[in-house]
Structure 1
Amino acid sequence: MKFKSFLIAAILSLGTAATTSAYEYETVKGDPMQTRIYTLPNGLKVYLSVNKEQPRIQTYVAVRTGSRNDPAETTGLAHYLEHLMFKGTRLFGTTDAAKEQPYLDDIERRYEHYRTVTDPEKRRQLYHEIDSVSQIAAQYFIPNEYDKLMAAIGANGTNAYTSNDVTCYVENIPSNEVDNWARIQADRFQNMVIRGFHTELEAVYEEYNMHLTSDFDKEWAALGRKLFPTHPYGTQTTIGTQEHLKNPSITNIKNYFKHYYVPNNVAICMAGDFDPEAVMATIDKYFGSWKKSEQVKYPHFAPVKDLTAPADTTVIGQEAENVFLGWKMDGSASLQADTLDVIDRMLANGNAGLIDINVNQKMLCQGVQSGKIDMRDYSQFIMIGQPNEGQSLDEVKAIMLGEIEKLKRGEFSDKLLPSVKNNMKLEFLRSLDSNESRATSFVNTFVYGRPWKTQVERFDRIAGITKEQIMDFARRHFTDGYAIVYKRQGEDPTQKKIEKPSITPIPSNRDLQSALVKEIKESKVKPIEPVFLDYTKDFARTTTKKKQPVYYIQNTQNDLFELHFVYDFGSEANKWLPYATDYLDLLGTGTMSAAEVKERFYELGCEYSFTPTWSTMTVSLSGLGENMTEAMKLMEQMLNNAKVDNEAYSKYVDNLLKGRRDAKLNQKENFSALRNYAFYGKYNPTRNVPDSTELVTTRPQDVINMIAALKNYKHDVVYYGPLAMKQLLATVNKNHITAKTLQDAPENKPYKMVETPKNEILLAPYDAKNIYMMQLHNVDQKWTPEDEAKISVFNEYFGGGMNGIVFQELRESRGLAYSAFADYSTTKRKEHQTNYAYTYIISQNDKMMDCIRVFNNILDTMPQSQAAFELAQQAAVKRIASQRITKANIIFSYLGNKRIGINYDLRRDIYAAMPKLTLEDIVKFEHDNMANKPWLYIILGDENNLDMKSLEKIAPVKRVATEEIFTF
């Protein structure tokens, strides 16, 4: 392959950084992202990478601190501070900061006293007093003003995350809003004010409840305790303990903020469409006066001793059994990370790794995964294995360790290491299309203390890694000093119920606005003109020799390609399709084994895949353009001449049936099945599957024939890649195997959404500390394109994000949930196009009726705010204006609209209609479609811990068994 020359050409085509600048910056020779790294005099780092594909910018503001630095007596602090950073400053989030401050100070003093009291009755009284003072402070609090500010500038993806070593704040903004964004962030990071404390604390409790229900989270914590028994990576979790969450310290949070949220401990990471000089001038303008701290110190801990023998522990929970293995490695800044990245992919790359070929392909157990976990002080390499029916966890452990031993002994193909190196480069080239990937690499570099030069030169170092070095590294580092976590099935005796506190809802004050919000909302920026697709010009059309439509866009940026065959039928026409494609993945051809097929695709830097949806089936091939023809020939052999393996089919069925049993133990899987049952009735995606008898008795050849039969049906050909159209046609005509006469697609039998003419309650059992709940309203109202603008603005205003009414009322005002939203949706199918409404929430068991009452209240009497409406409208308009549909997505946009009878870019009409909408339009829309309507209540929970009497007053409760919602 000519992979190296291709990579060099791709890098050189990206040019070099300018050498003149008003601000000094660092660059690294050969950096394909042309990164500029600035350091302001106050120590603030700024990483910038220009990518002009769309007029948006991905921004991350990374603070180099996380739960590793939490005080031992108040764990969970870094994460809770992350939540509080959304509550505002003296400039926003309040109507009068001066009048508000004495009450906030009083609340802080009361919490400091509260956390020292142990008597339950005294604590209840003290909390009541805190709640009372909080009501007075809340008169000045304007919840969600930060989210309103982000809506005003058209931001997407407003969020944040906390882990061991970092707290990072995330926004995706239009490229013309840098000044407003920087002004808001600079104020936020310098002048954060803690308000709305007790209701936000309830939201964190709910997040903690979700962790209690997740066996994976418990396993992860247990693994940390074994690997790092004397370090915060093992002694405390990011979410914190129940005791500490119930005894918070505002004083400690403030001290933590002052210590770590300083410019010389922060990096601004940006990738997208901007002028670096202009961006730096803006950042300097707003962040330049931020005072540097000479006191930034991180807690130091004695080196964690290496394990000299396996250290095991056990976790109990409802979900299926598995086993974790973990090895302690050096911190992510170490050059050891290069070798671990290679080993990671040599063991498992989804195609040709040792685990892929030797374990998962052969189904020696239900499945094994592995991977490197980056952290600053120490990293981890972990393996997770799931047993087959009747297989012990120790047997799975032995299988995983066996693959490590093969690595040590060099028992792998000589082609594997070069293929891994080439595919790592291919991954990187694909990642250049993503601003998120670019900015994330900056965050990791900053947080883990890795010089950017080290990152850029990574592939040069990896190129020199030899097989002998891999073997030697594995022998030295994958020793018997590993940790083991056995996940056993049973009732977890450590879980404790969290009692619902008495909280008086705080006012939403949605009609109020701070001066800053008004200024940002009314600020004048050079508008971004929308770009809509023109389906007559944005791609070329032709046909194959069999008269199949071909949709073509040439890739002029690099040598990567994607080729798709799109069929107009899916699992609704043939419920076996997803299973046939899974089985095909286990097979070879008459001349190549299954392992050899995977190894060859991986060696070519190409991959093929199937995407069976309800109504379509897509066969895709992608990768390095110079190898497309050879990869296509191999794919066609697999599609049409796969060699049946009866033993593989038998193991596949056994694996599948165990996976189905395991799914019944998982809360999210149960709710997914319940939702489908509630939305579509007994004929739904969860139940419309081959049953166990069908799976066992069906001939494997018949299963494979379903894939081979694709050659008989009409389909579309979609291509984005470097070939000229004539070359593409020649390649497809020569290599794509089809019948002489193509048939129309088999007819889909669409899932039809149930109607909800009256209140009904559907309850399925799951024993957990929280419930999953939805409400559905559907009267089969037909969708029309004219609905779209109204629906978009309504969802933005009502339930679509943190600035919506649902989030404000359920979370901000009452602390009822960590996750809550509502949506007015459309099913856009040529067979069935309808509108429907639903709500969604995860909450504590004893908050269920509170959630229902609040939802129904805001549904029946939707709060109205002209200011909030204008922000929702402005956000929706700006997002469309800065949205760009590119590459193969242009063609898929066309095909999607074509299926519902639209031959143009629907966004054009939506954009034109949005500015004409009024609050009255939205109020009438909600009144006509959601207010005072009957609802189907869909609840997954343990009725022994639910207020069933109150629930039965709404409607009779229909109980549905786990076996019925799954039917297997």
Structure 2
Amino acid sequence: MKTSCRLKAVLLLAVALLALPTFGQGLKAFKLKNGLSVYIWEDNTKSDVFGIVAVRAGSVNEPEEYTGLAHYLEHVMFKGTDQIGALDWAKEKPIYDQIIAKYDEMAATSDPAQKAAIGRQINDLTVEAGKISVSNEFSDLMESIGGKNLNAGTSYDLTYYHNSFPAYQINKWLEISSQRFIHPVFRTFQSELENVYEEYNMYQDNPGNQQANFLRSKAFEGHPYARDIIGLPEHLKNPHLSKLIDFYNEWYVPENMVLILVGNVNAQQIAGRIAGTFGRLEAKPLPQRKTYPDLEIKGRTQYSAKVGIYPSVCLIYPGVPAGHPDELPLEIAMSLLSNGDHTGTLDKLTLDGELTDCGASPMTMREQGRNLIQCIPLYDENQRRFESNKSTEKKALEAIRRVANGEFEDWKVEAIKMNLCRDFDVQMESNTFKGQLLMDAFINNKDLAKVLNYKDEVMAVTTDDIKRVVKQYLGDNYLALYIEQGKAKKGEKIQKPGYKPIEPPVGKESLYAMQFKHMPIGQVEEKFIDFSDVQVQQLNDRSKLYYTPNTENNVFSLTLRYGTGEREFPKLGIAAELMNNAGVMGAYEPQQLKEELSRLNATCQVWASDDYLYIMMRGYEQTLPQACQLLSRQILMPQLDDKQLSRLKGSVLGSRQQRKDNVSTLADALSQYIRYGEKSDYIDELTDQQMLELQISELTGDINRAANYEAEIFYCGTLPFEQVAQVLSTSLPLVANERPSLSPQDKPLAPVAENTVYFLPNNDAEQAQIFFYLPMGAYDKQDDVLRDAFNQYFSGGFGGLVMNEIREKRSMAYYAGANVLTPALPGNPTYMYGHLGTQNDKVNDAVDVFMRLVNDMPQNPSRLDNIKSYLRQEALSTHPDFRSKAQYLRTIRRMGYTDDPAKVNLPKIDALTFDDITKFYRANIQGKPYVIGIIGNPKMIDTDKLAKYGKVVKLNERKLFNTKDALF
């Protein structure tokens, strides 16, 4: 009865608040009496709300002898409280206390046998506690209110929890999101430990992670930023649940936390509700933060490590922490070296074919900062090797010297500033970006007014400011980190302990859950997508303009989509890549064209898919005609560059030379092979010899030929429709009598005649990858609700069968999922695709559990109400943003809809029964032939046992790639 009274009190409670300060643009901020900060950004044009609860605590704040606590805590914060998920807390608490004590006992001994014995005792207690609790109830309740993308993240200086939800569910979201921080119970800690082990092992197969660890260890030596967020393996294997509880009690205090709500929310209406929910968190003093001296970088210091797929040079200079007055001048200074428009001094080296790639960016953390410049040497296609890191460093230093000496025009500074403002305007269209912007401000103690006035702050930076910071920070004091080709020494492997699975009671829910479901909600508005503002006009014989008004800013976006792609012109992808660094024949060299576009504050990107050649431009509308004219000249008379072609050949061939040693690439190739066979992207590609023989003339011809196809032009801006149509019809490269498009098409799926297990042995794989493919019947929009319902039941979040059975109960995989995927065209086949990542010694067990789900899907009708609620709320809140509305309309019409699919599907969702889900499964999946693909260490996987799931075929790596005329 106490819980019921508490919930009623929350509904009625109104706590006196300070007046809500307004920062403009719909942002309001205030503090609760307990010290918790609240930021609310109102935007009633959105259909939902994005919510964050962030804590100013991360891996930096962990005791040095207990690393990994912050990340562990993030995992178990989903496991409920003494109310959420508690079926009988009076019985569960003594067991929970024993588990805490057992972990302390286990940590105190160094005897492996004793540790193992205590681990088994903890497992017995965990299984017992699991019978009287529902550890995934928090996730289930979030699903019941239409919560989407429920997730969390841990970094060095923060931990945050987030998801989006329908606006009318704000009361329930505030209730449960605050309740999770009141007496949390870290249930299934043992199984989450194994999930973290899986995550740790996954990172061991990632070369990028190995490089990042090397860079951080040198860049932030002497500071916790130098170590990996996930923690050290010796600490991961020796966990203290009591230390985790201490970390929570010390750092998760209201004064150290922020609630952020962005979207369709009214601050004045919900301020009292926020006080009544998050105001329940107990006020506590802020903990003391440990301080660390900054690394003093004197002169040039070089370090080397063989951790790269390809060589690279990383120059690390002193920097500033987040919020420092020099942060913005340094951001602009680094953009003078390299930027998205490729007008920097380092970019010129890439455009001139001197480097394979380069980049420059500040690393601004809460306590310290660095400036990072990274360059990949040029790959010599003739000698089939990369140039030296030493010569690459010399080139980079010369580019830095030019900026340090002030060898840049004032207009470049102004263009960079304007482009930063343009990009900020576009990012501000996103609820997620706004939420993260506010979170960054809170974590780093930034002035909210300055954050909102970012554009004014940018424009106030002067050329003198930039020259000053360049001389101060980008001088002769730096670290030269040489990354050489080679396999990194992998971290310590964490082995499978082999514990018994947790079997929570099926169909049970806590008293809290029962009362939560009966809480009142706001008015439900069935607000459907209004496509009336999408205007269409024929611009040529076949080409059409799709126009959508921009109601938020004056940044236009233009997507030109020609109706052909790499399926018809296999070299078009290479040609499109070259177009990004091309000039205009007889008029502009590549660097000149980049600079001219930059002067117009416009940016352009070209790429190709199997179906289309895409050209996307973005900028301010006052320069639209000039930008389109430049674009037209480039497409009609492209000046592709031989040096760029040579650089691109080297980049592709250099990558191919290494990919058989890259476990992630091999896994992706295996995934494509089981689904597409010889049509895999890794097989149906240009051979090495064809790459070497590429000529500028044929690539230019492919661009010209692609531009002869009909085009779809998607425009979003503030100019009137008629004016836009006039500008585009006269300024875009649209030919008369265009060739008709046959796009899109679906890549043919590989047929499956019998159950087959493809095994790719790889001794270097610390974590095995398991893929599942089952071809199904033709797509029909009439099945959309059934398909979505099955996907949500089978693999929807933590409550889905796959995650629940494989990860939550048995800790067999860090990630696990399987969904029915749909084609681009109605009438083409659908298919079921699954992916698990697990330790090699868990492969056989994981496959057993997954195949039990596929072959005989467990029945749990109690999940139906949650699934229906989720599908209904998702249908009503899934609205495309204004920039993508026209393309979304084209897509749904192609699939057979004439209006918002929600109008058709809501009645079907309401009528859905659990029997419908079961019938869909039995008709389309149960008993159908399938393929399993596995890459892993053959010494730890019993392939004989896999034979019960089909014929086992051992693959060679060369089978996954196009080996005709191979050079390596």
Change (3 A) 1:807 1:592: same
Aligned to 1:712, what secondary structure does the other structure show? coil
**Aligned mates of 1:336, 1:820 — CA distance in 2:** 44
For residue 324 of structure 2, the aligned residue among 334, 337, 356 is 334
For residue 194 of structure 2, the aligned residue among 198, 202, 218 is 202
For residue 596 of structure 1, the aligned residue among 592, 596, 613 is 592
Instruction: Return the offset for 1:749.
Output: 7.2
Residues 1:184 and 2:179 are matched in the alignment: no
- Give the equivalent residue in structure 2 for 1:360: 350
Residues 1:378 and 2:372 are matched in the alignment: no
- Give the equivalent residue in structure 1 for 2:676: 680
Aligned to 2:472, what secondary structure does the other structure show? helix
**Aligned mates of 2:786, 2:459 — CA distance in 1:** 55
Residues 1:580 and 2:580 are matched in the alignment: no
Change (3 A) 1:457 1:731: closer
Aligned to 2:40, what secondary structure does the other structure show? strand
Q: How many residues align?
A: 940
Aligned to 1:822, what secondary structure does the other structure show? strand
- Give the equivalent residue in structure 2 for 1:116: 108
- Cα deviation 1:209-247 (Å, max 9, x = unaligned): 11222222223222232233322122x321001111111
Q: Is the 8 A contact 1:573 1:748 kept in 2?
A: no
**Aligned mates of 1:747, 1:306 — CA distance in 2:** 58
For residue 249 of structure 1, the aligned residue among 240, 251, 254 is 240
- Give the equivalent residue in structure 2 for 1:12: none
Task: Please identify, of 639-648 and 128-137, the stretch whose mean Cα deviation from structure 2 is larger.
Answer: 639-648
Residues 1:938 and 2:929 are matched in the alignment: no
Q: Is the 8 A contact 1:227 1:482 kept in 2?
A: no
For residue 630 of structure 1, the aligned residue among 626, 641, 648 is 626
Instruction: Return the offset for 1:967.
Output: 1.2
- Give the equivalent residue in structure 2 for 1:881: 876
> Which letter maps to 1:777?
L
Change (3 A) 1:863 1:750: closer
Structure 2 gap ranges (5+): 1-15, 380-384, 964-968
- Give the equivalent residue in structure 2 for 1:346: 336
TM-score with structure 1 setting the length: 0.93
Instruction: Return the offset for 1:324.
Output: 2.8
Mapping of 1:270-669 within 5 angstroms?
270-301=261-292, 303-317=293-307, 319-355=309-345, 357-387=347-377, 388=379, 389-533=385-529, 537-546=532-541, 548-589=543-584, 590-669=586-665
- Give the equivalent residue in structure 2 for 1:809: 805
Task: Please identify, of 50-59 and 729-738, the stretch whose mean Cα deviation from structure 2 is larger.
Answer: 729-738
Task: Please identify, of 56-65 and 889-898, the stretch whose mean Cα deviation from structure 2 is larger.
Answer: 889-898
**Aligned mates of 1:488, 1:883 — CA distance in 2:** 46
> Which letter maps to 1:310?
R
Q: Is the 8 A contact 1:57 1:271 kept in 2?
A: yes
* Identity %, equivalent residues: 24
Q: Is the 8 A contact 2:51 2:261 kept in 1?
A: yes
For residue 144 of structure 1, the aligned residue among 103, 127, 136 is 136
Task: Please identify, of 265-274 and 212-221, the stretch whose mean Cα deviation from structure 2 is larger.
Answer: 212-221
Q: Is the 8 A contact 1:226 1:312 kept in 2?
A: no
**Aligned mates of 1:642, 1:616 — CA distance in 2:** 18
Mapping of 1:865-876 within 5 angstroms?
865-876=860-871
Instruction: Return the offset for 1:747.
Output: 7.1
Aligned to 2:180, what secondary structure does the other structure show? helix
**Aligned mates of 1:295, 1:219 — CA distance in 2:** 35
- Cα deviation 1:41-80 (Å, max 9, x = unaligned): 2111111111122221111111000000011111000110
**Aligned mates of 1:311, 1:912 — CA distance in 2:** 68
Instruction: Return the offset for 1:547.
Output: 5.4
- Give the equivalent residue in structure 2 for 1:52: 44
- Give the equivalent residue in structure 1 for 2:9: none
Q: Root-mean-square deviation (CA), in Å?
A: 2.1
> Which letter maps to 1:917?
L
- Cα deviation 1:900-932 (Å, max 9, x = unaligned): 444333332222211111111112212222233
Task: Please identify, of 839-848 and 282-291, the stretch whose mean Cα deviation from structure 2 is larger.
Answer: 282-291
**Aligned mates of 1:662, 1:633 — CA distance in 2:** 41
Q: Is the 8 A contact 1:213 1:768 kept in 2?
A: yes
**Aligned mates of 1:510, 1:342 — CA distance in 2:** 57
Change (3 A) 1:943 1:486: farther
- Cα deviation 1:272-325 (Å, max 9, x = unaligned): 111111222111011223221125222233x22411133443444473333333
- Give the equivalent residue in structure 1 for 2:922: 927
Instruction: Return the offset for 1:328.
Output: 3.5
Q: Is the 8 A contact 1:785 1:906 kept in 2?
A: no
Instruction: Return the offset for 1:676.
Output: 1.4
- Cα deviation 1:166-202 (Å, max 9, x = unaligned): 0011111111111111111211112211110100110
Instruction: Return the offset for 1:488.
Output: 3.0
- Give the equivalent residue in structure 1 for 2:773: 776
Aligned to 2:759, what secondary structure does the other structure show? strand
Structure 1 gap ranges (5+): 1-20
Q: Is the 8 A contact 1:565 1:717 kept in 2?
A: yes
**Aligned mates of 2:346, 2:526 — CA distance in 1:** 45
**Aligned mates of 2:198, 2:699 — CA distance in 1:** 45
Residues 1:910 and 2:900 are matched in the alignment: no
Q: Is the 8 A contact 1:154 1:174 kept in 2?
A: yes
Instruction: Return the offset for 1:481.
Output: 3.2
Q: Is the 8 A contact 2:429 2:552 kept in 1?
A: no
Q: Is the 8 A contact 1:573 1:747 kept in 2?
A: no
For residue 35 of structure 2, the aligned residue among 30, 38, 43 is 43
> Which letter maps to 1:911?
L
- Give the equivalent residue in structure 1 for 2:12: none
> Which letter maps to 2:123?
D
Aligned to 1:827, what secondary structure does the other structure show? coil
Change (3 A) 1:195 1:750: closer
Task: Please identify, of 143-152 and 890-899, the stretch whose mean Cα deviation from structure 2 is larger.
Answer: 890-899
Instruction: Return the offset for 1:784.
Output: 0.9
Instruction: Return the offset for 1:260.
Output: 0.9
Change (3 A) 1:226 1:718: closer
Q: Is the 8 A contact 2:322 2:444 kept in 1?
A: yes
- Give the equivalent residue in structure 2 for 1:859: 854
Task: Please identify, of 117-126 and 958-967, the stretch whose mean Cα deviation from structure 2 is larger.
Answer: 958-967
Change (3 A) 1:944 1:403: farther
**Aligned mates of 2:476, 2:863 — CA distance in 1:** 60
Task: Please identify, of 342-351 and 456-465, the stretch whose mean Cα deviation from structure 2 is larger.
Answer: 456-465
Aligned to 1:269, what secondary structure does the other structure show? strand
> Which letter maps to 1:92?
I
Task: Please identify, of 157-166 and 689-698, the stretch whose mean Cα deviation from structure 2 is larger.
Answer: 689-698
Aligned to 1:627, what secondary structure does the other structure show? helix
**Aligned mates of 1:133, 1:812 — CA distance in 2:** 16
- Give the equivalent residue in structure 1 for 2:62: 70
Change (3 A) 1:833 1:353: same
- Give the equivalent residue in structure 1 for 2:94: 102
Instruction: Return the offset for 1:458.
Output: 4.0
- Give the equivalent residue in structure 2 for 1:131: 123
Instruction: Return the offset for 1:820.
Output: 0.6
**Aligned mates of 2:651, 2:829 — CA distance in 1:** 38
**Aligned mates of 1:79, 1:276 — CA distance in 2:** 32
- Give the equivalent residue in structure 1 for 2:211: 219
Aligned to 2:355, what secondary structure does the other structure show? coil
> Which letter maps to 1:908?
K
Change (3 A) 1:773 1:317: farther
